[in-house]
Structure 1
Amino acid sequence: MRTDNDTESETTRVTRKGQVTIPKELRDEFGLEEGDEVRWEKAEDGIRVRKATQSAGRGMLVDEDISEAKREAMAEEMAAEIREQRRSEWQP
């Protein structure tokens, strides 16, 4: 990342579809994973992006003898179910 006015920042482009890529260094630093949601907030000085989903508690309710691969599969399945539930709640 480069430093601009004493703050670390990096630029990315907005695609035709309005998509942006969150730089890997920031995804790693803030624990953003595939399937996580981010919240876009208006701020006086522009736009603020915050992590909306929490993944820190993954595996807390799973037996310790479950393999890491199985834990990931379970987490992905649960995340997909949550995303689907959220989509159905927002559809008219």
Structure 2
Amino acid sequence: MSQTTRITEKGQATIPKALREKYDLEPGDEVLWLDTDEGIVVKKRTRTGGRGLLVPDETPTETRAAIGRELAKRLRTRRDHDY
């Protein structure tokens, strides 16, 4: 499928409806713009909450949350750079 859109004066572009539906893109979703040798690639950024992380039962709730945030940050960074 090939479709075109125009860039606005503010640098905004509309993702065609058929592609938004195909890739389940909704308002508020994040997309990642990758500069590749082939040109620009746009990917939907998926959210990862760090579920399933194993820590000792006595770990305080705030420490668990901090570990989860750090893991999510590392996963986003790796995913964004490993394309």
The aligned residue for residue 43 of structure 1 is 36
Where does the alignment leave 5 or more consecutive residues of structure 1 unmatched?
1-7, 55-92
Q: Give runs of ≥4 in structure 1 deviating > 2 Å.
A: none
TM-score by length of 1: 0.49
Give the total of aligned pairs.
Answer: 47
Shift of 1:53: 3.4
CA–CA separation in structure 1 for the residues paired with 2:46 and 2:7: 23
Query: Which of 15, 18, 26 is equivalent to 1:33?
Result: 26
Please give the secondary structure, in 1, of the residue aligned with 2:18.
Answer: helix
TM-score by length of 2: 0.54
Where does the alignment leave 5 or more consecutive residues of structure 2 unmatched?
48-83
- The alignment status of 1:11 with 2:7, answered yes or no, reads no
Greater CA radius of gyration, 1 or 2? 2
Shift of 1:45: 1.3
Identity %: 55
CA–CA separation in structure 1 for the residues paired with 2:39 and 2:9: 21
Q: Which amino acid aligns with 2:23?
A: F
